[in-house]
Amino acid sequence: MNKNIDDLFDDSKGDPLEGIPFSKTTSRLIGCPVAWLKRVIPLAGSPAQLAILIWLHRRRVVCGGKKWFTVPAKNLEEDLGLSRFTRYRAFQHLEEAGGITVSYDGTKAMRVKLLW
């Protein structure tokens, strides 16, 4: 396998980042605040769980910053491509670790409360 960084993109298709505006903000964001990420890394038992934590942070922001917010399985599956088994196992681990509280309302989407 060639590990040359220049070979990662197909030059015939152009620069994949061309035309994407870059933020000139001074805050350090990587999909979530860096300080928040440092706090939750110990909660994550796997890369999938860390991805879910970051996704949950973003979902809470999209839902207006409410304490409780919905987590539609379809959205989580489409965005991260995780199986149902992986999602449920991750939510169970994160709940046991004290990072989230999960509420199920029958057929509706699960509701989550972040505890950090």
Take residue 94 and report the two structure tokens written for it.
Answer: 């994160």
Structure tokens at 40: 């939750």
79: left (phi over 0), alpha (psi -120 to 50) or beta: alpha
In this prediction, residue 14 carries a pLDDT of 63
Q: Which fold has domain 30-114?
A: Arc Repressor Mutant, subunit A (1.10.10)
% of the chain beyond a pLDDT of 70: 74
pLDDT band at 37 (very low <50, low <70, confident <90, very high): confident
Residue of 28, 51, 49 whose CA lies nearest to 91: 49
**pLDDT tens digits, one per residue of 51-88:** 999 999 989 988 888 899 999 888 888 889 888 898 88
CA dihedral 109, 63, 60, 55 (to 10 degrees): 70
Using an 8 Å Cβ cutoff, are 49 and 38 in contact?
no
Task: Delimit the domains of the chain by residue range.
Answer: 30-114
Residue type for position 46: S
Q: Tell me: the pLDDT tens digits for 88-109?
A: 899 999 999 988 999 987 767 7
